[in-house]
């Protein structure tokens, strides 16, 4: 099946195009949107399965052998990411059936959503530097339009900050690509990885790495490049925010890990320290931001930042264990963040406010929602038996093994603060008595279940992973093995 690897890009593209052409029929758009997401999940799972059974999969687009054409590559890391992303996409597509308003659907929500998925998946499975840049542009413009979709003033304000700062990321990334092309004459990851000699001679390895760090760091929301994130993530409706929070920063951090492990596999102490400092500051800044935030969506946005710190910490150790922890953390953080933002949307619908302090009564009146909140929230705080715990456990182990005690202490402390944040949300929004008028949502039970079903399904999946983490661990471990020993990857691409 030579087409398999391209399906994670093609299916959302086709879905996006068809929803654009059928823009007059709301029903057709919605049906296509859900079907497209389900098909994407099927195709991604097939890729994952193939990778698991046959090893790294490679497709040379246009039948031009690497490094001359564009190569798509799926290893365990990429395949895991596209599968989990597709899972979240299905959840969001279903949630959007009720959580999206008719104006936004009319103006192209479904089209943009699927084209965004195309960009995300493309970035995850491409093996080509410039192609990755193209997918970055796709997802940047798609996310920008999704941000402004609705044309509300706060959306525009957030979107301008979003796109303004992200363009700096594009410039930085593009400059780095140009430099690498200048030195190596190639754009193919694997090809570049084998011809880094010129750069090493010029002593520019760390400098180019820093350029990538800025470019991807902006995308990933790392300190001190994260400003756009809390400025924009709270403005769009819940389904959009959920996809953003679940996936966009992950693309940045995925790229960071991919490029650093493949092109700069033996970093100097300088780069490692730099990454760890960035990681620590990101964790702390994120959680402190969440601590003082009263708007539930902005609060969650800050927690997105904090989580990225953990991932970069795992990268900064530059050991297989650290990378396994980072990969595992990314895997589980995608559904965690998506589900929290979806829950945030329901909280807003039910209570009519985004202020956590003004909410209340959700525990009493929406027990299922309350239960579904506990799973991702405590997972975020790194509590067992939820998957976040296993991620943190691995990262802490990796940190102690490499004797980076300070960053481990910070990570654990940030865990306590995260616990404080989510427990406060729980206490205020769920435990507190409802306002006088009670819950304001007028959703019928069926409509409510459309919103809650995806949340519950994600919650159950997370709990299952928390209770039996081994399969996901295996995947993360394979991914980490391929990241530290890049020979099979290069071999698979260059043949």
Q: How many residues sit in the footprint of other proteins (CB under 8 A)?
A: 135
Buried b (16+ CB within 10 A) or exposed e, 30-69: bebbbebbbbbbebbebbbebbeeeebbbbbbeeeebbee
What are the helix (H) ranges across 235-319? 238-243, 249-263, 269-292, 296-317
CB of 93 to other proteins, least distance (A): 18
Which one of the spans 48-56, 107-115, 310-318, 331-339 is the region binding other proteins (CB under 8 A)?
107-115
Task: Note whether 64 binds other proteins by CB under 8 A.
Answer: yes
Q: How far is the CB of 460 from other proteins (least distance, A)?
A: 13
Binding segment for other proteins (CB under 8 A), chosen from 39-47, 201-209, 258-266, 309-317, is 201-209
Under the binding rule (CB under 8 A), the answer on residue 446 touching other proteins is: no
Asked if residue 242 binds other proteins (CB under 8 A), the reply is no
49 touches other proteins (CB under 8 A): no
Question: Nearest CA to 331 among 217, 476, 219?
Answer: 476
Q: Do 429 and 347 meet the contact criterion of CB atoms below 8 Å apart?
A: yes
Nearer to other proteins (CB atom), residue 87 or residue 389: 389
Told to check if 25 binds other proteins by CB under 8 A, we report: no
Site for other proteins in 378-407 (CB under 8 A): 378, 381-385, 389-390, 393-394, 396-397, 400-401
Residues 6 or more apart whose Cβ sits within 8 Å of residue 418: 287, 290, 303, 306, 380, 381, 382
Position among 49, 273, 416, 485 found at the interface with other proteins (CB under 8 A):
416
Task: Confirm or reject binding of residue 189 to other proteins (CB under 8 A).
Answer: no
How many C-beta atoms surround the C-beta of residue 224 within 10 A? 10
185 binds other proteins (CB under 8 A): yes
The reply on whether position 338 binds other proteins by CB under 8 A is no
With CB under 8 A as the contact rule, the residue among 357, 433, 488, 495 that binds other proteins is 433
Give residue for tokens 């709270």: 234
Residues near 489 by Cβ (< 8 Å), separated by ≥ 6? 56, 73, 75, 190, 262, 482
The distance of closest approach from Cβ of residue 218 to other proteins in the complex, given in angstroms and rounded to an integer, is: 7
User: Which of 142, 326, 347, 458 is close enough to bind other proteins by CB under 8 A?
Assistant: 142
Nearest-angstrom CA–CA distance, 352 and 77:
40
- Torsion angle of alpha carbons 104, 106, 108, 110, nearest 10°? 80
User: What's the half-sphere exposure (Cβ side, CA atoms, 13 Å) at 445?
Assistant: 2
Q: Under rule CB under 8 A, which residues in 352-381 are in contact with other proteins?
A: 363, 367, 374, 378, 381
Interface of this chain with other proteins, residues 285 to 324, rule: CB under 8 A: 285, 288-289, 291-293, 324
Q: How far is the CB of 435 from other proteins (least distance, A)?
A: 13
Please tell me whether residue 419 binds other proteins under the rule CB under 8 A.
yes
Distance CA 280, CA 310 (A): 8
Half-sphere exposure of 488 (CA within 13 A, CB side): 16
Minimum Å distance from CB 491 to other proteins? 19
Shortest distance, CB of residue 67 to other proteins, whole angstroms? 7
Min dist CB 189 to other proteins, Å, is 14
């Amino acid at each position: 099946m030579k087409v398999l690897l391209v399906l994670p890009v093609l299916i959302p593209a086709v879905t996006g195009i068809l929803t654009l052409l059928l823009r007059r029929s709301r029903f057709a758009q919605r049906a296509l949107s859900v079907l497209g997401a389900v098909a994407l999940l099927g195709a991604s799972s097939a890729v994952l399965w193939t990778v698991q059974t046959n090893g790294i999969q490679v497709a040379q687009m246009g039948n031009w052998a690497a490094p001359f054409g564009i190569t798509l590559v799926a290893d365990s890391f990429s395949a895991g990411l596209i599968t989990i992303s597709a899972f979240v996409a299905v959840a969001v597509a279903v949630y959007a059936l009720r959580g999206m308003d008719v104006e936004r659907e009319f103006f192209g929500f479904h089209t943009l959503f699927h084209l965004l998925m195309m960009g995300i998946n493309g970035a995850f499975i491409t093996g080509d530097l410039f192609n990755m840049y193209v997918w970055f542009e796709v997802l940047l413009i798609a996310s920008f339009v999704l941000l402004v979709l609705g044309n509300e003033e706060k959306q525009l304000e957030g979107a301008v900050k979003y796109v303004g700062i992200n363009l700096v990321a594009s410039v930085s990334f593009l400059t780095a690509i140009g430099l690498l092309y200048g030195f190596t004459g190639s754009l193919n990851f694997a090809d570049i990885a084998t011809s880094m000699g010129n750069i090493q001679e010029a002593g520019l390895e760390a400098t180019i790495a820093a350029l990538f760090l800025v470019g991807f760091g902006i995308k990933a929301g790392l300190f001190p490049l994260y400003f756009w994130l809390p400025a924009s993530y709270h403005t769009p409706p819940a389904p959009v925010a959920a996809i953003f929070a679940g996936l966009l920063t992950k693309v940045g951090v995925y790229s960071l890990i991919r490029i650093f492990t493949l092109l700069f596999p033996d970093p100097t102490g300088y780069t490692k320290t730099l990454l760890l400092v960035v990681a620590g500051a990101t964790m702390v800044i994120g959680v402190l931001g969440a601590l003082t935030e009263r708007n539930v969506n902005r609060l969650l946005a800050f927690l997105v930042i904090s989580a990225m710190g953990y991932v970069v910490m795992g990268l900064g150790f530059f050991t297989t264990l650290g990378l396994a922890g980072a990969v595992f953390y990314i895997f589980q953080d995608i559904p965690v963040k998506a589900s929290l933002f979806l829950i945030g949307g329901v909280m807003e619908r039910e209570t009519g406010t985004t202020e956590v302090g003004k909410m209340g009564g959700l525990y009493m009146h929406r027990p299922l929602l309350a239960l579904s909140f506990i799973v991702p929230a405590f997972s975020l705080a790194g509590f067992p038996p939820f998957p976040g715990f296993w991620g943190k456990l691995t990262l802490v182990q990796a940190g102690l093994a490499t004797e980076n005690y300070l960053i481990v202490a910070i990570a654990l402390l940030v865990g306590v603060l995260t616990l404080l944040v989510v427990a406060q949300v729980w206490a205020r929004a769920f435990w507190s008595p409802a306002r006088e008028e009670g819950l304001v949502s007028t959703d019928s039970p069926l409509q409510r279940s459309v919103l809650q079903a995806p949340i519950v399904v994600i919650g159950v999946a997370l709990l299952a992973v928390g209770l039996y983490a081994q399969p996901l661990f295996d995947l993360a471990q394979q991914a980490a093995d391929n990241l530290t020993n890049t020979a099979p990857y290069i071999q698979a691409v260059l043949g």
